[in-house]
Every structure is written in structure tokens, then in C-alpha cells.
Structure 1
């Protein structure tokens, strides 16, 4: 796929968000939005990985402002690998997905494999696996100290791709997926991201994406409050990008709290970056990266939202070309899978570009994917 960078007007000029697609004409196709959402997730993940858990001042001392990959060998993290994991599961079961399917997949692909110490994932995944290996079942498997983490939000975009134009369905499906590993605010974070991507998939602009995200979570929840604060702060006028980023970060981050993987925080920062950039892909992910904290996840979420709004053509070509098959650094069973294969699976070849995926069927088959990669081999 050829990816072409776009050069929109200054995204930080304080103009209000529009409910219409604000950037490109003609509108991207459904498949192009699917590729944009999932490749955007992987690009954001790889861009943000070196800055994870860093403060903006630390980022500036080390690299200045990050404007592209700062690693000679960029790669995604658990964000991309778990998105592939959930995407394969969704491709197999579609709207018929059940908690039992999800729990079985966690056992089959992760918990029951004899591969030594679990590596490269966050606290919520570790807690879930410990519970599953003790014989606990969902939803008790999600009862651990990090059930509020952003581990579901980071893998939620495939549900929005599958349920294009159906935010409620996207939220329902990601809740089923998340019930094995998350609870409360952790679930709300996943619902917000899945619904936002679902709205973007059928042409909603930034205002519509944000509205869809807020529509599927309790308005008095921590996640909703953080999301609103981040977005409102982002829409104000600022003299420069650095001032804007400081304001958005301050509006969302709980100062002094040691963990950076809070779902309400990560979702608030990601939607704030997306709103500040008015849906522009490059500005969305770089804003998220340069705010630090859980930078791989915030940039992955912002990239998924902006990629679904603008399509894959908005992703700079050199960024997209750097994303290869995942290495299994977190999930060995996912090694060799490519994130774009998931887009192929979730948007079937025979689906009209303006149609919604039929209820109750997967978004594609486990065939016809990128040469050399067989998703069925991992299932």
C-alpha cells in the first residue's frame, strides 16, 4: 500500500472542531480507513515506545521535540501485539463473540503456553494471567490491582473497525473482550476508543468521534471527566505547540501518581491530542508522544482515531513502511503477524465500501492475507 503524507493547515490555530470530515476530499474508502486505524495504532505505538514513562522535560533533554522515529530499529510493543490478538479473535467470531471465546483465547495463545516468563506487557495483563493460571474465570480473572489500566484501550481499535458506523456495537464487543482482564474505568477506556473509531470509520470528524466516545461511557465516570477535560483544554488557543501540550497534560494527569497506565489518563491525553490536532494524523500522534507518560499507548490510540478519520493516505510513507510483522516481544504466539492483515480480516473483500459489516459474521475470513503470514496458524 502506498502511503502519502498530507500537509494540512496549522492544527493548533484554535479553530473549533467540525462534525464533518475536516481534512480530505474525496472521503477515504472503508478499507482505507480500516488500514489507517490499525496501521495508525502501530505507528503511534512505535513512535511513542522510546518515550514511555518519561516526562516532557526528559524527552526534550534527550531528543528535543520528537518529530519522527528516534530509534534506528522502530518496533511496536504490547499495544500492537494485543491489538492483533484481539483482532484475530474478533475476525474468527465477529458479533457472536462471547466471554468464553475470549477466555479460551487467553489460555490458548498466552496462559497455557510453556514459554518461560511472561515478558513485555503491562500490569493488567500480568494480573490477568496470574489469575487465569490459578484457575479463576472471568469476570473474577479481572479482579486484580490494575483492572483500571489502559490495557483494553490500547487494543480496542479493531472493534471499531469491525463495527464501522455502530459505536454501540463496538462498545458491546470490546466490553466482552475486556471482561477477562479489566473492570470499571479500564472497561470504560476501551469502550470510548472502540466507539470513537467506529464513528470515524463511516466519516465522522473529530467532534463526532469524541461525541461517540462519550456516548458509551457514564458521564460521571473518571474516564469521561478526563476525556472532556483533555478535549476542552485542547480546543483553546495557544501561542505554540509546547504551551498547548503542557496545558492538556496538566488538565488530565494526576500529579505525583507513579503509574502511567491509568485508562482515564491515557484516554484523556489521547483524545486531547486528537482534538488539538483536529484529527490530523501526524499532529495527533506527535502531540501524544511529546506529552510523555504512557506515550506508546496514548500515541497508539490517537493514531487509531486519526487514521480512521483520514485513512491510510495520511500516514507519512516512511512511518508506515517502518512497520513490519510484530516480533512477539510480548506475545510470542503473535510473532510474524502484520497489523494490516487484521484490517484485511475485519473488512471483507466483498463488502461495499459504504456498507456496514453484517451482524453476526466476522469482518473477513482467515485467508487472503499478506503473503507469508497466516493468522490461522496462531489460532
Structure 2
């Protein structure tokens, strides 16, 4: 990949048909990466090799997205409801009505940042105080950030602004920066920006001296040397938690850069690096899916993704990422939902290929 010192600008978004394919690619790519990476979550590359060799496809009989996919659907529906008028009050109300004030699924709210947020909301704390917990630096915002890039195609700064509003309820500091980097990167990719410009767009919306920016720069600088070099550049050896936003986001962008935007290679690189593999592969999949569009996703992977099961967020059960993409894709025919919170209704069941 060329030097970040010579960065082409983000182009104007393409026509409606192209944007639709990129939107579908971004969110389906997120769900595919999530499902591919889930079995390798919290594993070392050596453990992955000992169990499966190199992962080149699904290693379970019934693959599905995890909390990464369900929270991305949640944020996507909320964004489709409010668009650029989104406020922290909207986000907080949605967390209460569709998560905190309902019975949880077997994942019980998902990761540490989500659990901390839910505990604070249930105690009556409001944003941004609700984000003051021990894991506000996690990748929980980054995993749900792609819909903001889809919505703000070609406008990385707007994507970063909106995802920070979403994150104000659950994250702070590096956790916000990680979400902003992902949202901005997807927004640039949605406009057909080359890989180097996607990376530069992510770096442009976070503080230059932040942990997130430093890790991201290290990852892309060695991406040409492959996944082992990327992992060595950013993984915090010996640290027990794998959901650090600066680490996970850098691994995802490193995988994307190493593959030069190729969907299959980006996702498999992220999966085989281990650590928070479902999130890193979900982010890499969103970036590469936006870059190449839905047709770049292998059919056998795409067709394995069905509607969300609600294992983490029961209120999201039945919603498909492709339906969310249709709500968010830019254009005059954008299907705005105009009042209140997203209507959580049973959608028409999908059959056949999601292409």
C-alpha cells in the first residue's frame, strides 16, 4: 500500500445502484465476518492452527452473527429513524426501550462495555455518565459503527460525528475513537475510495496522538508483511482482555490493508489473527464489503446469514442486515422511518439467496 503521505481524496458517491450494492456489501460483510470469526474469538493463532489449520470458511454447521451483528442492526434501525438529527437522548431512549427495560437473551447484554452500560442505565444514570464504567475503551462501539458509514457515504466526518453520538451512552475516549475510525473508513469506502484513502479517512477523524491512531498507523505500516506482522505491531501481549478498541480496530484495518480491500482475504486475515476475532473480522468485512460491494462476498457465506436470532438482543430477532442496508442507503428513495423508535415487528421471512 502506498505511503499515507500521498493520499487521494474521497471521491463523490456513485449512483444509486452502486451505493445500494456497497451498502449491502458493508452490512452483509459485517455479519459474515462476525459469523466467521466467532469460533476463533479469544484464541491465539497457534490455537487456531492446532484446532482447524487455517480457517478458510465456516467451521460450524450453523453459523450466525453474534452481538456484533445484533448491535449493528440496533444502531442501524435507530439511525434510519432519526438520521442526521440523532441525539444522545434518542440513543438513550432506544437503549432503555429495546434493551435495558426488556428481558435479555442468553448473551445477557453481550460484552463488558454493554453490561456496564446496562447496569448504569438501570440505576437511572444518563449519558454521558452511563458510559462511565471499566470498559468504556472497548470495541463495542466499533462493532456497531458500520451503519453510520453507510448512511453518510462519502462524508467521513459526518459518519464520525453521528457514531460519537451513538457512543456517548456506552463509551468514552478510545472507545469513541475506535467507533469513529470505523464509521469514517466505511463512509470513504462507500464512495469507492482506494484503500489508502479509506485508512486516511479513519485517521483524520481521531486525535493524532491517540492510542487508536498510533495502533492504526503501526498496523497499516506493516500490512504488506502479512497478518503476523500486523498482529505483532498492535497486540498487547499478556493483556487478558481482547476487546480493546485501539487493538481490535487496528487489527481490522491492518487486515483490510494487507488484503488491499479484497473481501475474502481481508476477512480471513482478521479471523486467523484471533484475539477478538468476531469483531475484527466484522469490521474488516464491513470495510471490504463497502469497497467491493455485495457481489464480492462468496455465495456460500452470504446465504448462511439469516435474520438475527435475538440471542443477545431479543428485540432484534427477525431483522436482517440487508433490510437495514436498504433503510440506510443514500438516495432520494431512502425509506425513512419517521416517528418514535424503530418498530420491532416480525419481518417477512427471507428465502433463497440474499443477493
TM, length-normalised to structure 1: 0.85
Partner of 1:359: none
Partner of 1:291: 273
Partner of 1:360: none
Aligned mates of 1:319, 1:346 — CA distance in 2: 23
Partner of 1:192: 181
Partner of 1:124: 113
Tell whether the 8 Å contact from 2:266 to 2:288 is kept in structure 1 after alignment.
yes
Aligned mates of 1:27, 1:15 — CA distance in 2: 30
Q: Which residue of 169, 193, 196 maps to 1:207? A: 196
Q: Classify the secondary structure of the residue corresponding to 1:376.
A: coil
Residues paired across the two proteins, number: 338
Deviations 1:151-206 (A, max 9, x none): 00000000000001111100000000000000000000000000000011111010
| 1:308 and 2:277 correspond | no
Aligned mates of 1:284, 1:153 — CA distance in 2: 17
Aligned mates of 2:264, 2:218 — CA distance in 1: 22
Q: How does 1:71-82 map to 2 (within 5 A)?
A: 71-82=60-71
Deviates more, 1:26-35 or 1:260-269: 26-35
Q: Classify the secondary structure of the residue corresponding to 2:343.
A: helix
Partner of 1:6: none
Task: For residue 366 of structure 1, report the CA deviation from its aligned partner.
Answer: 4.2
Task: For residue 350 of structure 1, report the CA deviation from its aligned partner.
Answer: 3.5
TM, length-normalised to structure 2: 0.91
Deviations 1:65-102 (A, max 9, x none): 00000011000000000000000000000000000000
| 1:274 and 2:253 correspond | no
Partner of 2:160: 171
Partner of 1:376: 343
Counterparts in 2 of 1:234 and 1:114: CA distance versus 1, 3 Å: closer
Aligned mates of 1:60, 1:348 — CA distance in 2: 42
Deviations 1:201-256 (A, max 9, x none): 11101011001000000010000000000000103xx4xxxxx2111101000000
Q: Classify the secondary structure of the residue corresponding to 1:36.
A: helix
Q: How does 1:212-291 map to 2 (within 5 A)?
A: 212-235=201-224, 238=225, 244-291=226-273
Tell whether the 8 Å contact from 1:349 to 1:364 is kept in structure 2 after alignment.
no
Aligned mates of 2:278, 2:73 — CA distance in 1: 16
Deviations 1:300-332 (A, max 9, x none): 000000000110011111100100001001001
Say what the alpha-carbon RMSD is for the aligned residues.
2.2
Q: Which runs of 5+ in 1 are unaligned?
A: 1-13, 239-243, 352-362, 368-374
Counterparts in 2 of 1:88 and 1:116: CA distance versus 1, 3 Å: closer
| 1:92 and 2:81 correspond | yes
